[in-house]
């Protein structure tokens, strides 16, 4: 019983801490946020898209801007998929029902995404984007479903070993 209680609180704390990471990243100014994603974009281009160097200045710039946009949206999706997985795992420990875990993860994750976008509206060079809330919510759903799938497989595996 003690282990289960510790797991509940640890997963809940991990979800809250991850919310703090998201809040911290959203607190960065538009320029700082863009510098971070531009650095990642440049690394992706240098490692995977070396042939892009053959393009002219304007075409290269356009391609890099598109890649940067995709990387920024993938980052939104990923950080919220992690959040969805953490919330789902925590909720499953408190209420061991998959539907409850997935639905409440989505609701909590979407509410956090809305509050995060609202928070960004107060940060220099940042704005509130409804599309980002949609991407974030999709990430939460995928993360919650993946974790619930892993939990279900672990339960099935445990049950198979008991026979």
What is the rounded distance in angstroms from the CA atom of residue 153 to the CA atom of residue 137? 24
What is the rounded distance in angstroms from the CA atom of residue 41 to the CA atom of residue 34? 10
pLDDT of residue 162: 64
Spatial neighbors of 145 by CB under 8 A, at least 6 apart, are: 102
pLDDT digits (tens, 9 = 90+) for 112-152: 999 999 999 999 999 999 999 999 999 999 999 999 999 99
pLDDT digits (tens, 9 = 90+) for 48-84: 887 777 888 888 888 889 999 999 999 999 999 999 9
On whether the CB atoms of residues 109 and 83 are closer than 8 A, the answer is yes
* pLDDT for residue 47 is more than 90: no
What is the rounded distance in angstroms from the CA atom of residue 11 to the CA atom of residue 15? 6
DSSP 41-75: HHHHHHHH-GGGGGS-HHHHHHHHHHHHHHHHHHH
Tokens 């408190």, residue? 94
pLDDT of residue 163: 58
């Amino acid at each position: 019983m003690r282990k289960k209680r510790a797991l509940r609180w640890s997963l809940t704390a991990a979800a809250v801490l991850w919310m703090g990471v998201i809040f911290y990243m959203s607190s960065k100014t538009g320029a700082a946020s863009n510098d971070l994603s531009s650095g990642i974009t440049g690394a992706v281009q240098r490692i995977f898209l070396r042939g892009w160097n053959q393009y002219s200045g304007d075409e290269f710039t356009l391609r890099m801007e598109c890649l940067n946009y995709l990387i920024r949206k993938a980052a939104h999706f990923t950080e919220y998929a992690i959040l969805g997985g953490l919330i789902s795992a925590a909720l499953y420990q408190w209420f061991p029902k998959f539907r409850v875990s997935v639905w409440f993860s989505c609701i909590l994750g979407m509410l956090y995404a809305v509050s995060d976008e609202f928070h960004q509206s107060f940060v220099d060079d940042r704005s509130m984007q409804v599309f980002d809330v949609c991407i974030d919510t999709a990430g939460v759903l995928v993360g919650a479903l993946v974790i619930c799938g892993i939990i279900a497989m672990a339960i099935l595996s445990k049950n198979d070993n008991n026979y």
